[in-house]
Amino acid sequence: MVKYIQYWLVFIHLGFAVDLKTSDVYDNSWALIVGINDYEHVRGLNYAVEDALAMKNMLINVYGFTRKNVRVLTNGEATGSNIKKELHSLVKSVGENDRVVFYFAGHGETETLGLEGGDMGFLIPADGDAEDLYLTAIPMDELKRISDWSKAKHMLFLVDACYGGLAAMNTRSLASTSPNYLDNITEDISRQIITAGGKEEQVVEKDEWEHSAFTKNLLSGLKEKRADYNDDGIITGAEIGMYVQEKVSLDTDNFQTPQMRRFTAHEGEIIFITKGEKKEEQEKELDYQQILQAMVLQMSQQTQNQNNQIQVNDNQRVVKPG
* Torsions phi, psi for 121 (to 5 deg): -90, 150
- Which of these, 301, 177, 158, lies nearest to 216 by C-alpha position? 158
pLDDT tens-digit readout, 183-223: 888 999 999 999 998 777 778 888 889 999 999 999 999 99
Amino acid at 281: E
Q: Which residue has the higher pLDDT, 99 or 109?
A: 99
Across 114-141, average pLDDT = 87
Winning range, highest mean pLDDT, from 6-20, 124-138, 262-276: 124-138
Rounded CA separation 33/71 (Å): 6
Output the CA angle 285-290-291, nearest 5 degrees: 80
pLDDT digit string (tens) for 244-271?
A: 999 999 999 988 989 898 988 888 999 9
Residue-level length of the chain: 322
Q: What are the residues facing 71 on neighbouring strands?
A: 32
The DSSP line for 14-37 is: HHHHHT--HHHH-S-EEEEEEE-S
Q: Residue 211: which residues within 8 A CB-CB, separation 6 or more?
A: 47, 50, 51, 54, 205, 219
Taking the C-alpha atoms of residue 304 and residue 299, their distance in angstroms, rounded to an integer, is 9
Q: Could you give the 3-state DSSP secondary structure of residue 314?
A: helix
The SS3 assignment for 111 reads: strand
**Pick from 92, 96, 86, 71: nearest CA to 138:** 86
What is the model's pLDDT at position 207? 85
Distance from C-alpha of 41 to C-alpha of 148, rounded to nearest angstrom: 31
Of 127, 126, 163, nearest to 143 by C-alpha is 163
The Cβ of residue 40 has, within 10 Å, a number of other Cβ atoms equal to 13
Which band of pLDDT confidence, cut at 50, 70 and 90, is reported for residue 14? very low
**Among 150, 153, 247, 230, CA closest to 194:** 247
Is the pLDDT assigned to residue 12 strictly greater than 50? Answer: no
